[in-house]
Structure 1
């Protein structure tokens, strides 16, 4: 074999090594990013208080201000999730990504419950198609999502006011 053949062989070997290392790097970067995006906060970030005929009811909740955060937080029916929106909305709600049925309260900017609906779970179909939509028929700024029957069990109805405070903050 001539000297240029050896160099060509080393060159091809170095190129193969560079491709392997960069591919491995992309793989691990993807794994790290994917793992962090699937992480569910282990503790709620706030507490909601709602006056009901049975007294004041408190519920720890995860607060989300970005509707796209649904992609980042696994929706679990045993956790309360409070969604807040910058602008008034009248969009329908869906059970996409839910594991269990939920009850959803639609609130105005002051926290008054405008409507309550039960939502059935819908496993994540391809591109979000095929999940039933539930139109609340009201313009809302917040949504409180809890396990199905939670509001009914506590006799909480439209007109009740939801107060939110950071977890650990004293009641006013």
Structure 2
């Protein structure tokens, strides 16, 4: 009987901890910068720390039209992304140091498929699904306003 009570308490504590972690993930205050893609302005949250990059857009249920998240890495590499615990479908543009989009991938919510750049990059920009294609923003388009690391 006492064992069941302890298990119930442990389950309740772990549920509270998990809820706190999810809440914290959704409320990370990240700096926002303005980027431009042609005539379009983007309000991008900066994910430029290991923790911010790890959490990304996980557990969010929506994002405004011209909002996104810019991932900045210290080193150019084949940084791949997946959509585990990401509830909204996204498009991701992998961006070279000169601001040119290398490639764009469409990503389904809550999947573990890898989406990778076609060349080593330092930047990746996530937007709502089909944001790039609806604006005819294609590989080779320059994203302006990237912070230099």
Deviates more, 1:148-157 or 1:75-84: 75-84
Distance 1:40 1:161, change over 3 A: same
Q: Is the 8 A contact 1:103 1:145 kept in 2?
A: yes
Match of 1:148 in 2: 129
| Inter-CA distance 116–67: structure 2 relative to 1 (3 Å threshold) | farther
CA distance in 2, matches of 1:99, 1:92: 18
Aligned length: 127
* TM-score under structure 1 length normalisation: 0.62
User: Is 1:119 aligned with 2:102?
Assistant: no
Q: What is the SS of the residue equivalent to 1:95? A: coil
Match of 1:99 in 2: 87
1:47 equivalent in structure 2 = 34
Pair member with larger Rg: 1
TM-score normalized with structure 2 length: 0.70
Counterpart Cα distance in 1 of 2:97 and 2:85: 26
CA-based RMSD of the aligned residues comes to 2.9
Distance 2:74 2:123 in 1: 9
Q: Which range moved further: 34-43 or 107-116?
A: 34-43
* Unpaired runs of at least 5, structure 1: 1-29, 124-130, 167-172
Alignment of 1:25-36 (within 5 A): 34=21
Q: Please name the residue that 1:60 is paired with.
A: 43
Contact 2:96–2:122 (8 Å) recurs in 1: yes
* Shift in alpha-carbon separation, 1:87–1:146, aligned structure 2, 3 A: same
Aligned match of 1:80: 68
| Farther-moved stretch of structure 1 (111-120 vs 87-96) | 87-96
Residues 151, 93 of structure 1: alpha-carbon distance in 2 compared, 3 angstrom cutoff = same
CA distance in 2, matches of 1:138, 1:165: 18
Structure 2 unmatched runs, 5+: 1-16
